Chains A and B, each alone.
Chain A
Amino acid sequence: MTARYTVGDDVRVRQAYPPGHCRTPYYCRGKSGVIVRYCGDFRNPEDLAYGTYDGPEVPMYRVQFNQTDMWPGYSGAPQDKVEVEIFEHWLVPASS
């Protein structure tokens, strides 16, 4: 699968709450960040978790967020960041 995003792209994590297994932490859903690394293509944990071992590989990225955007009342330094590895289907362009 061709990676849709490149380093420096502004993205937002989809605000979705499926009942099953996924790797996108709750705390970053709906938050905006920037792509800092393309990690490669990997099988989708959402397939693997239910016994489908031969599903398509999907691109995964490391996305950097501001801690101040992530946590209400964050008291650390304003430049603090948190990086989360997120699969492409959980991301949309920040402008959308």
Chain B
Amino acid sequence: MTDRRRHHDMGGLDDGPVEISEHNSEPWEKRVDAIRSLLSDDKRQLLSVDELRRAIEDLGADAYDRYNYYERWMAAVSNILLQKNVLSVDELGRKMAEVEARQGNKPI
């Protein structure tokens, strides 16, 4: 029988020991968190946590494994905003190039 488990639905699979050490979030990660909160607030209502979760699940197995926690959030939020016509692909692409050029190799 084909395995009908979706990639993210990992409950019960062996994945080694749990990493329990405390760590600080990077500034960009806090920013992603803030953007997510603002998009979901009463004024905007552009994003539910369920939509975020759905978009993360839909990233595909490769990206799901390769991205870290907030990279998944960022990719998912971007996809939802594109889908809802809040951003256009062109707008997002140009902005990313602009930020990259401004930033160079400096830490974000």
Residues of A whose CB lies within 8 Å of any CB of B are 17, 19-21, 25-27, 45, 48-51, 53, 70-71
Please give the distance in Å from A33's CB to the nearest CB on chain B.
Answer: 15
B51 touches A27 (CB 8 A): no
Pick 19 A–B contacts, CB within 8 A, sort by A.
A20-B54, A21-B50, A21-B54, A21-B57, A25-B9, A26-B6, A26-B11, A27-B11, A27-B12, A48-B48, A48-B51, A49-B48, A50-B51, A50-B54, A51-B48, A51-B51, A51-B84, A53-B45, A70-B12
B51 touches A26 (CB 8 A): no
Q: What number of residue pairs across chains A and B have CB atoms under 8 A from each other?
A: 36
Q: Is B53 an interface residue (CB 8 A)?
A: yes
A25: B residues at CB distance < 8 A: 9, 11
Residues of B whose CB lies within 8 Å of any CB of A are 4-6, 9, 11-12, 45, 48-51, 53-54, 57, 84
B50: A residues at CB distance < 8 A: 21, 45, 48-49
Question: Shortest 4 CB-CB distances between A and B: which pairs?
Answer: A48-B50, A49-B54, A21-B54, A17-B4
Please give the distance in Å from B51's CB to the nearest CB on chain A.
Answer: 6
CA distance A80 to B6 in the complex (A): 26
A71: B residues at CB distance < 8 A: 12
Please give the distance in Å from B21's CB to the nearest CB on chain A.
Answer: 26
CA distance A79 to B12 in the complex (A): 18
Residue of A nearest to B13 (CB): A27
